Structure 1
Amino acid sequence: MKSKICIIILLISATFLGVYGQDISYFLDENIIEWNAMYYLTAVTYISIFLYFVKILWTYILQRKNVLKGNILNLYWLVTVIPSFLISLWSIFVLAMWWG
């Protein structure tokens, strides 16, 4: 049960960072350390993609240990791969537009 909750937390965290990366980088630039917001966005994008990668790896490990089986396993893979791919593409697109 703990591992399933951790997977859900990873998904929510990575999605939040991927979707709101621009706002987070502006916030960090204005309120924490005045640095170029582009560097903050780069860091937030990498962290988001890394969290998705960890989530995919964790789901695979749970599959190998037979913790997730049948329809639940298919649902986890569906919820893992599709949002990970789409939001990572969006984050990379936004990052590429920022870098010019």
Structure 2
Amino acid sequence: MKYRIILIMLIAVATTFCLFGADIAGFLTGHKYNLNGLYYLTVISYSGILFYLVTFLLAIFFLKKKVLKNNELILYCLAALGLGIPIGMWTIFVVALSWG
């Protein structure tokens, strides 16, 4: 059960980081260290993309350890890739436009 929660939380955090990375970066710029917001945006956005990749790899790893079933693997991989590819492309687009 805890393996499923880990995968679901990774997908949720990755989606939050990718979709709301600009808002989080703006908040951190105003309330934390006096860094350029682009650095925060870049790190947060690429962390979200990395979390999608980690979710995909963990799902395969859990299948090999016989923790997940084949149908659960398909569900988590489709969720990670189905959300990760379009949202990741959008995030890369936003970061590229922000950097100019």
Per the normalisation by structure 2, the TM-score is: 0.92
Query: CA contact under 8 A between 2:17 and 2:48: conserved in structure 1?
Result: yes
Name the stretch that deviates more: 44-53 or 71-80.
71-80
Structure 1 unaligned blocks of 5 or more: none
For residue 78 of structure 1, give the secondary structure of its aligned residue in structure 2: helix
Alignment of 1:20-35 (within 5 A): 20-35=20-35
1:55 equivalent in structure 2: 55
Unpaired segments ≥5 residues, structure 2: none
- Is the contact made by 2:7 and 2:76 (CA closer than 8 Å) also made in structure 1? no
Matches within 5 A, 1:1-100: 1-100=1-100
CA RMSD of aligned residues (A): 1.1
What's the CA shift string for 1:29-71, capped at 9, x where partnerless? Answer: 0111221111110110121111111111101101222322243
Runs of 4+ off more than 6 Å: none
Does the 8 Å contact 2:63/2:70 carry over to 1? no
**Matched residue count:** 100
Distance 2:26 2:2 in 1: 34
Residue identity in the other structure for 1:52: Y
Q: Give % identity.
A: 39
Which amino acid letter does the alignment assign opposite residue 9 of structure 1?
M
State the distance in 2 between where 1:17 and 1:82 align: 16
Residues 47-96 of structure 1: per-residue CA shift (max 9 Å, x gap)? 11111111111011012223222432222221121101111111100000
